[in-house]
């Protein structure tokens, strides 16, 4: 009997070339590592479907993925067996059996990302792979004012990678919260979908606002003109983490 298994996955993306398998380029990816572990466990290939693609260097606290398998192995043994075959920077935190029609990507309603900024004068060897280092003083209140203009259903074309085209650049940001935990600043963005590099481009723009390089209400103009060149730089991948997928 075919079963549909959903995995919740935590990983440190520092040494991986993103989530999606890239067998032609022979680069290490998270998807490929889990599929290799699945082959060792089940003795057959599994086709893993992720909720979304994270780029090279991006991390995940709770990525979701599913695969179908003809196996009677109990869920606890699937989780334990996969973890025993995975490298230390990937772990399966949960394994659940879901309806056979469930699809990790198409059934996802919203995603929550967290971006971490280290804001102090000196860098941190301990945080270098998990935060963006910004030595300039950042005005949190200005960043929060700018963030308010981004909440709601809008055309985010200005925050899409310039070399990427999608059918529609309209998305709905449900929440955008900036939390100050000196010397860390955490930016949480929850939306019904994200364009390529959208979170990192938003963060880069908010950093420019925090530095005083642009006024908070400049964000309104950036949105209305739908030109990538008007927004800030793309923030480094290493500060980004997929925190949760909502179904």
Q: Where are the domains of the chain?
A: 2-98, 110-246
Note the pLDDT tens digit of each residue in 4-36. Answer: 999 999 999 999 999 988 766 668 999 999 999
pLDDT at 208: 98
Per-residue pLDDT, 23: 67
Q: For the structural domain made of 2-98, what CATH number should be given?
A: 3.30.70.580
Question: Alpha-carbon distance 158 to 216, whole Å?
Answer: 16
pTM of the entire structure?
0.94
Topology alike, domains 2-98 and 110-246: yes
- Helix, coil or strand: residue 205: helix
pLDDT > 70? residue 159: yes
pLDDT score for 224: 96
The rounded mean pLDDT for the chain is 96
Residue where the block lists tokens 């890239």: 22
**pLDDT tens for each residue of 180-195:** 999 999 999 999 999 9
Please check whether residue 132 is in contact with residue 236, taking contact to mean a CB–CB distance below 8 angstroms: yes
| pLDDT cut 70: percent of the chain above it | 98
pLDDT of residue 66: 98
CATH entry 3.40.50.1370 includes domain 110-246: no
Token pair in block for residue 241 = 């983490």
Tens digits of residue pLDDT in 203-225: 999 999 999 999 999 999 999 99
| pLDDT over 80 (residue 73) | yes
Show which residues are catalytic: 55
- For residue 62, report the phi and psi dihedrals to the nearest 5 degrees: -155, 60
Q: Is the pLDDT of residue 163 over 80?
A: no
pLDDT band at 172, cuts 50/70/90?
A: very high
Which are the contacts of 196, defined by CB distance < 8 A and separation ≥ 6?
160, 161, 164, 166
What pLDDT shows up at residue 162? Answer: 76
Q: What percent of the chain has pLDDT over 90?
A: 93
pLDDT of residue 129 exceeding 90:
yes
């Amino acid at each position: 009997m075919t079963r549909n298994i959903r995995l919740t996955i935590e990983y440190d993306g520092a040494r991986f070339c993103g989530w999606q398998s890239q067998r032609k380029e022979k680069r290490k990816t998270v998807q490929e590592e889990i599929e290799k572990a699945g082959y060792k466990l089940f003795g057959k290939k599994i086709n893993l479907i992720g909720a979304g693609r994270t780029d090279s260097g991006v991390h995940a606290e709770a990525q979701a993925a599913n695969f179908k398998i003809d196996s009677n192995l109990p869920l606890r043994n699937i989780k334990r067996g996969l973890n025993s075959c995975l490298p230390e920077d990937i772990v399966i935190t949960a394994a659940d059996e879901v309806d056979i029609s469930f699809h990790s990507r198409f059934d996802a309603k919203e995603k929550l990302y967290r971006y971490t900024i280290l804001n102090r004068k000196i860098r941190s060897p301990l945080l270098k792979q998990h935060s963006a280092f910004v030595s300039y003083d950042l005005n949190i209140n200005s960043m929060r004012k700018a963030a308010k203009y981004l909440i709601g259903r809008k055309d985010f074309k200005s925050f899409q990678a310039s070399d990427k085209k999608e059918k529609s650049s309209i998305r709905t940001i449900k929440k955008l919260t900036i939390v100050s935990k000196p010397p860390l600043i955490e930016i949480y963005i929850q939306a019904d979908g994200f364009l390529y590099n959208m979170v990192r481009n938003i963060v880069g723009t908010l950093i420019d606002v925090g530095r005083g390089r642009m006024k908070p209400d400049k964000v309104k103009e950036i949105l209305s003109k739908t030109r990538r060149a008007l927004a800030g730089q793309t923030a480094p991948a290493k500060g980004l983490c997929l925190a949760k997928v909502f179904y």
